[in-house]
Structure formats: structure tokens, C-alpha cells
């Protein structure tokens, strides 16, 4: 299961207006497209229980993707109960009323498909990609666990141990892994934003089976989910199948919205971390950043490409090729619905120092503030944004049914409107040279800087 934040672009949707009578019971949110959309929505409707469904016919190849996004992530957790969102990513594969443990994989893979799930700071998703004549199988599996997940002490304890092992493998025993967790805890002042997705073992071990059932009842209800299906099918027939499997699942009270307000940082933050698995010094430098779709979001996304997209990027050319003081350098935008973070990570070359590397880094940051980027370089960065959307190798590629289904479900879950994807692409393409300078001056200020230095712990590594 994936548990790290996946970079993607997100969204919004029309509200279902008319309740229609009948045995199925659903309401339509009719959409009339004024121009062609990147992901044409064939049908957009909502069941009486609140489940929003997007159907997009694509008859290019005989495959289909089913994605369900639950509006629950680490930000929905309470102090003392961290890690529940990620735990449930695992629990959802532990069996339900009609499906035994591990049989989700058995059913889908036997039908020639694949499946997975991922937990993020602000959502959890589940997806299947399979031959289009097998989509009903995915609907049955997803509806059965939404309706009747087996939450038993045995399953809970089993997956608690699995999560522990995952943390040891992916965080604790990875070079620079523990420091990456410390970075989020340091840069964010609001616990809702700061605590790690994987959670606290102490919190999970102190939880009761009643706590676990309560969490499931609140967040894994149809009215807290969006489902999208993209592929080779007839939308009218697919709507009937969705109604057949999901319409009788009861809704729940809408969960309260988390408070993700983050105070402005007015003083530099610093932390030194010793790491027994690190072979070379490294550091993160980070700044708080705008939420998805805020006004400066698009320019900062372009800045990420300018600094760190490939070997021709500014940081690679300056720090790895030019000054030759870094073994590796990456910049990343941790995009969230609430406040995010812009982070730069560098591994220091043996004959250099963190201070020398940061001098190179801050010099490149300063150039963004003072020297207009060339039209050619700006165009290249914009093209890299488009490449992420249209390259077949990209996770969110619009050439893939799964990429389209994920974007549809995420945009609707986050913002209610799938058409906002088109508006976002337009916004990226409209970023100007002056926007780059203005946003760099706004975001990359000295008082807002958070630095985490990581040094090899030679004593513990012996």
C-alpha cells in the first residue's frame, strides 16, 4: 500500500439538484459542457445516500478504472488517535461480509486486473484497473467493504503489526527517513498538519476496537466518498450497476471539517538530527506554502519545475554539475487542500559542507527573486507541467484510464467540480515572469525558513 503523498492536481463540482423517484433512488447533476473538457464526463450523479459518481466513457481500449476517494486523511485525526487513516487503508483489505481476507487481490488479479490504495494528509483512495467487462466485480468488492468491513480485534491487531513493520521498513530504517518526519513536525505549527500520516504506535496500541469502529462509521460512509469510473463501457448500464451495488448502503452524519489554519512563520526554525543509516550529511530547507488552487499555487508549481525538473534544472546544474558540492538535490511542493510546504533536499558531497551547499541554494533562490526568468525557460517549465498530464509514463497521465479516474475523483472530492482541471491547466499556462518573481519574494523569506540538518550518527552505526 502506498502511504506517501502523491503529487497531483486537484478540484470542484456541480450540485445534484433533483431527486428522482424510483426504486434506485438517485439525483442527477446534469452538466452541459460549453467546450471540450480534458476528461469528458458522460454522467455525473449522486445517490440518495450521498455517494457522488462520475462516469467517463473512453472506448480507446477495452479496459476501465474504478476509483473511490474517501474524504479522510491524517488531517481528520484527533490527538491521541493518530494513524487511523493509514491503518484503515490496510484494514479495508482484511475482509468483509462476503469477501475473505486477501481475496480482494485474488479476485481482481484473477480477472486480469490490478488494485491498490494510498493514504495522504487529506484523503484516502482505493482503485482497480481491469478489463472493462469485469468492472462489476470491482463494484461488488468496493460496495461490500463499504457496507460491511470486518473490524475484529484479530484484524486490528494483525494490521497494527503490519503498519509497524511498514514504518520500520519505509521510515525508521531508511537513510534520512526519520528526519523527513521531523521536518513536517517542525515546519507546521498546527498538529493537524504536522503529525505524520503513518501515525503514532502509542496512539494505535492504546486504541480500542470501539475507537476503530467509530472511525470507520464516520469516514467510510457513501456520503463521505466520491467514485469515478473511466473506460470502455456504456454509461447508462454502468449507472444501473452502481445503483445496484451502492444505493442501499446507509449514509452517516457528515463529519466535521478539520481546522487546518496555519499561523504565519515569523522566525527561522532549525533542527539537527543524527541518523545511524545516513552515509553522508544532508539537509532540508523548507517554507510554508499555499494550499491547492490558491492564487500563488500555480506560480509556485512552475518554480518547482524551474528548480528541480530534470538534469537541466537550475539546482542540478548549479549544485551537482557546477559547484559540485551536492550528490543529489531535489525540490518538491507538498500540495495539500490546507497549507502545504515547499521543500528542498540536498545530500552533501564528502568534500563539501552543508553551509557551502546552502550558499549555492540560497543564491539560486535569490536569482528567482531578482532576475526575470527567460521566456524560453518559463515555457519549458510550463511544458513540463503538461508532460506530467500527458506523458504515458506519468502516474496521473490523461492517456491512462486510471490517471483520468483519479483526477476526476480527487477534483470532485476536494472542490466539487471536475471541470476545474481545465481551469488549472489554463492557470499554469497563464503564469507570467512577474508572477515568478513576486511569489519567490513572498514565499522564500528568511524568517519563514525551516532547516533540518542530518548528520551520520557514527557512534550508533558501529
Which tens digits make up the pLDDT trace of 245-257?
A: 999 999 999 999 9
The total number of structural domains in the chain stands at 2
Which residues, in sequence order, are bridge partners of residue 127?
67, 116
The answer on pLDDT for 451 being more than 60 is yes
Would 288 be classed as within a structural domain? yes
The answer on pLDDT for 7 being more than 60 is no
Q: pLDDT class for 201, splitting at 50, 70, 90?
A: confident
Q: What's residue 19's pLDDT? A: 26
Would 236 be classed as within a structural domain? yes
Summarize the confidence of residues 409-426 as an average pLDDT.
96
Q: What's residue 397's pLDDT? A: 87
Q: What is the grid cell recorded at 288?
A: 510554508
Q: 3-state class of 282 per DSSP?
A: strand
Summarize the confidence of residues 353-369 as an average pLDDT.
98
Contacts of 345 (CB under 8 A, 6+ apart): 176, 282, 283, 284, 328, 329, 330, 331, 332
Q: What is the grid cell recorded at 182?
A: 521531523
Please indicate, yes or no, whether residues 294 and 234 belong to a single structural domain of this protein.
Answer: no
Please indicate, yes or no, whether residues 99 and 241 belong to a single structural domain of this protein.
Answer: yes
Please indicate, yes or no, whether residues 284 and 191 belong to a single structural domain of this protein.
Answer: no
Q: pLDDT class for 11, splitting at 50, 70, 90?
A: very low
What are the contacts of 106-110 at 24+ separation with CB within 8 A? Answer: 107/137, 107/141, 108/137, 108/138, 108/141
> CB of 119 within 8 A of CB of 86?
yes
Would 256 be classed as within a structural domain? no
Q: What's residue 12's pLDDT? A: 27
Please indicate, yes or no, whether residues 106 and 178 belong to a single structural domain of this protein.
Answer: yes
Contacts of 125 (CB under 8 A, 6+ apart): 67, 68, 69, 70, 117, 118, 406, 409, 410
Distance between CA atoms of 317 and 195, rounded to whole angstroms? 34
φ, ψ for residue 274, nearest 5 deg: -95, 135
Would 452 be classed as within a structural domain? yes
* Environment class of 257 (CB within 10 Å of its CB; exposed 0-12, middle 13-18, buried 19+): exposed
Please indicate, yes or no, whether residues 212 and 121 belong to a single structural domain of this protein.
Answer: yes
> CB of 220 within 8 A of CB of 76?
no
Q: What's residue 34's pLDDT? A: 52
Which residues, in sequence order, are bridge partners of residue 269?
450
Please indicate, yes or no, whether residues 242 and 308 belong to a single structural domain of this protein.
Answer: no
Which tens digits make up the pLDDT trace of 101-142?
A: 989 999 999 999 999 999 999 999 999 999 999 999 999 999
* H/E stretch holding 201: helix 201-205
Would 151 be classed as within a structural domain? yes
Please indicate, yes or no, whether residues 229 and 317 belong to a single structural domain of this protein.
Answer: no
Residue 79: CB atoms within 10 A of its CB come to: 10
Q: Which range, of 201-205, 270-274, 275-279, 340-344, averages the lowest pLDDT?
A: 201-205
Q: What is the grid cell recorded at 415?
A: 472542490
Would 388 be classed as within a structural domain? yes
Would 13 be classed as within a structural domain? no
Give me the sign of the Cα torsion angle 336, 143, 111, 57. negative
Please indicate, yes or no, whether residues 151 and 285 belong to a single structural domain of this protein.
Answer: no
Which among 10-19, 401-410, 453-462 has the top mean pLDDT? 401-410
Which tens digits make up the pLDDT trace of 50-98?
A: 999 999 999 999 999 999 999 999 999 999 989 999 998 999 999 999 9
State the residue range of the domain holding 196.
18-246
The answer on pLDDT for 173 being more than 80 is yes
Of 246, 278, 304, the one marking the end of a domain is 246
51: CATH:
3.30.830.10
Please indicate, yes or no, whether residues 367 and 234 belong to a single structural domain of this protein.
Answer: no
Q: What's residue 460's pLDDT? A: 56
Which tens digits make up the pLDDT trace of 262-307?
A: 999 999 999 999 999 999 999 999 999 999 999 999 999 999 999 9
Distance between CA atoms of 185 and 189, rounded to whole angstroms? 8
Give one DSSP letter per residue of 371-398, joined into a string: SPPPHHHHHHHHHHHHHHHH-TTSTT-T
Q: pLDDT class for 393, splitting at 50, 70, 90?
A: confident
* H/E stretch holding 78: none
Would 402 be classed as within a structural domain? no
* Averaged pLDDT score across all residues of the chain: 90
Please indicate, yes or no, whether residues 279 and 225 belong to a single structural domain of this protein.
Answer: no
The answer on pLDDT for 29 being more than 70 is no
Distance between CA atoms of 59 and 5, rounded to whole angstroms? 31
Give me the sign of the Cα torsion angle 84, 89, 91, 92. positive
Q: What angle do CA 1, 137, 26 make, to 5 degrees?
A: 100
Helices within 220-296 (DSSP H only): 235-246
* Environment class of 292 (CB within 10 Å of its CB; exposed 0-12, middle 13-18, buried 19+): buried
Please indicate, yes or no, whether residues 341 and 221 belong to a single structural domain of this protein.
Answer: no
Amino acid at each position: 500500500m502506498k502511504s506517501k503523498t502523491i503529487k497531483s492536481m486537484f478540484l470542484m463540482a456541480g450540485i445534484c439538484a433533483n431527486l428522482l423517484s424510483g426504486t434506485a433512488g438517485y439525483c442527477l447533476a446534469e452538466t452541459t459542457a460549453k467546450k471540450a473538457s480534458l476528461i469528458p464526463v458522460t454522467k455525473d450523479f449522486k445517490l440518495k445516500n450521498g455517494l457522488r459518481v462520475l462516469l467517463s466513457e473512453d472506448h480507446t481500449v477495452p479496459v476501465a478504472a474504478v476509483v473511490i476517494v474517501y474524504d479522510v486523511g491524517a488531517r481528520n485525526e484527533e490527538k491521541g488517535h493518530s494513524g487511523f487513516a493509514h491503518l484503515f487503508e490496510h484494514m479495508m483489505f482484511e475482509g468483509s461480509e462476503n469477501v475473505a481476507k486477501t481475496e480482494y487481490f485474488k479476485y481482481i488479479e484473477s480477472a486480469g486486473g490490478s488494485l491498490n490504495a494510498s493514504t495522504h494528509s487529506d484523503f484516502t483512495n482505493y482503485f482497480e484497473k481491469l478489463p472493462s467487462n469485469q468492472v462489476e466485480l470491482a463494484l461488488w468488492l468496493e460496495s461490500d467493504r463499504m457496507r460491511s468491513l470486518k473490524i475484529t480485534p484479530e484484524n486490528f491487531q494483525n494490521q497494527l503489526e503490519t503498519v509497524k513493520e511498514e514504518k520500520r521498513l519505509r521510515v525508521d530504517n531508511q537513510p534520512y527517513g526519520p528526519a523527513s518526519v521531523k521536518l513536517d513536525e517542525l515546519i507546521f505549527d498546527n498538529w493537524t498538519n504536522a503529525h505524520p500520516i503513518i501515525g503514532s504506535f502509542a496512539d494505535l496500541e492504546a486504541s480500542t476496537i470501539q475507537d476503530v469502529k467509530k472511525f470507520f462509521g464516520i469516514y467510510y460512509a457513501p456520503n463521505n466518498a466520491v467514485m469515478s469510473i473511466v473506460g470502455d463501457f456504456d454509461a447508462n448500464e454502468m449507472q444501473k450497476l452502481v445503483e445496484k451495488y451502492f444505493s442501499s448502503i446507509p449514509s452517516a452524519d457528515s463529519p466535521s471539517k478539520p481546522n487546518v489554519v496555519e499561523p504565519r512563520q515569523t522566525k527561522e526554525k532549525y533542527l539537527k538530527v543524527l541518523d545511524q543509516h545516513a552515509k553522508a550529511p544532508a539537509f532540508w530547507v523548507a517554507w510554508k506554502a499555499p494550499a491547492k488552487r490558491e492564487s500563488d499555487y500555480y506560480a509556485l508549481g512552475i518554480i518547482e519545475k524551474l528548480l528541480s525538473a530534470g538534469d537541466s534544472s537550475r539546482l542540478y546544474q548549479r549544485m551537482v554539475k557546477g559547484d559540485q558540492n551536492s550528490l543529489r538535490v531535489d525540490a518538491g511542493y507538498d500540495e495539500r487542500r490546507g497549507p502545504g510546504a515547499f521543500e528542498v533536499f540536498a545530500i552533501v558531497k564528502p568534500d563539501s559542507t552543508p553551509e557551502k551547499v546552502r550558499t549555492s541554494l540560497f543564491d539560486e533562490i535569490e536569482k528567482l527573486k531578482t532576475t526575470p526568468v527567460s521566456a524560453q525557460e518559463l515555457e519549458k517549465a510550463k511544458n513540463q507541467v503538461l508532460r506530467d498530464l500527458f506523458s504515458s509514463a506519468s502516474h496521473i497521465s490523461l492517456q491512462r484510464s486510471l490517471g483520468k479516474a483519479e483526477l476526476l475523483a480527487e477534483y470532485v472530492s476536494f472542490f466539487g467540480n471536475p471541470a476545474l482541471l481545465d481551469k488549472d491547466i489554463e492557470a499554469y499556462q497563464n503564469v507570467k515572469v512577474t508572477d515568478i518573481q513576486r511569489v519567490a519574494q513572498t514565499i522564500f523569506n528568511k524568517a519563514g525558513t525551516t532547516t533540518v540538518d542530518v548528520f551520520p550518527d557514527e557512534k550508533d552505526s558501529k
